A and B are shown apart, each in its own frame.
Chain A
Amino acid sequence: MAGVPKLPPYARFLGISAEAGEDGPLFRLPFAVSVMGRPHFLHGGAIAGLLEIAALGTVLERLRDEPGVSIKPINVTVDYMRGGRERETFAAATILRLGTRIANVEAFAWQEDRDKLIASARMTLMVRRPKATGEG
């Protein structure tokens, strides 16, 4: 059974919650003025933040049985496809590869229709496994 990752303060600041989904965690961002960009639209930075939280959270959830493991972003590319409207936004991520040191992840964000993405992100992450690498 899939679980739910522990979210950092920044995710709580955005108002993101996570729940167990079929293929991994599902992330939810309610609309609020604090995530608004131009009037009536989501801020591109908040959408990017949601996609990053989804990518990181999904990898952390996959690694939950490995104590001491940590991940950090190397880079992210966000593609914006539609303006985010004043409604709830969802995000989920697919792990393309999870190696010893590097994870490649894709994250997707949508609103009312999962087939109509508002944005996607491709993210490269550094994975630090203290036992495997001897690093602290």
Chain B
Amino acid sequence: MAGNTPSTFDPVAATRMVTSLGHNAAIGARYVAHGADWMELAIDYREDLVGDTTTGVLASGPIITLMDMATSMAIWVRRGALAPQATLDLRVDYLRAATPGRSVVGRGECYRLTRRVAFVRGMAHDGDPDDPIAHVAGTFMMTDAA
């Protein structure tokens, strides 16, 4: 990986841990790649995650979950530590419907980190990063900060 994270934080092991149970496990999230301040995760297409049975298009909920997780982990990557944090808000623009049958890759980036707040952005695509399906922006609060 291109990352130069100055710590013992291991994004692959962390992904294995956070996707081993609960909702992240239920949607089948998995590690794709990471860098110094970004993280890529993916989910595979599944019929039980469909939002519109007439088109077979994935619901937007699994995409939010993926992006919440990818942006959240991007903060850990940038901080070099798995520290407690809470999502304050997350906005998602759905640029187009995800293509039925394709896996969705979510890339989260922490572009600004203060003592208490992390600012994140990201995008999701289903094969071509130049043709994204969603863009996101959000903020997280460091709950371990004084």
A→B interface (CB under 8 Å)? 8-14, 33-38, 43-46, 48-49, 52-53, 56, 70, 72-80, 83
Contact = CB atoms under 8 A, between A and B. Distances in A.
A34 B26 contact: yes
A10 B48 contact: yes
Q: Which of B23, B59, B61, B89 has the most CB of A within 10 A?
A: B61
A46 B23 contact: yes
Contact of A34 (B22, B49, B89): B22
A75 B86 contact: no
In this complex, the interface size class of chain B, counting residues with CB under 8 Å from chain A, is: 35 or more
A105 to B, nearest CB: 13
Nearest to A77: B91
Contact of A76 (B49, B60, B97): B60
Closest 6 CB pairs of A and B: A45-B65, A49-B61, A10-B59, A43-B23, A36-B22, A34-B26
B68 interface: yes
B143 to A, nearest CB: 10
A52 B91 contact: no
A13 B49 contact: yes
A75 B53 contact: no
A72 B97 CA distance: 9
B50 A45 contact: no
B89 A45 contact: no
Nearest to A76: B92
B146 interface: no
B61 A75 contact: no
A8 B68 contact: no
B21 interface: yes
Given A35-B26, A45-B61, A77 B90 contact: yes
A44 B90 contact: yes
Contact of B89 (A14, A36, A46, A79): A79
Given A9-B50, A74-B93, A75-B92, A44 B87 contact: yes
Given A45-B64, A49-B62, A75-B92, A36 B23 contact: yes
Given A74-B94, A79-B88, A37 B60 contact: no
Contacts of B68: 43-45, 48
Nearest to A74: B94
B144 interface: no
A126 to B, nearest CB: 9
Contacts of A75: 91-94
B50 to A, nearest CB: 5
B19 to A, nearest CB: 11
B76 to A, nearest CB: 13
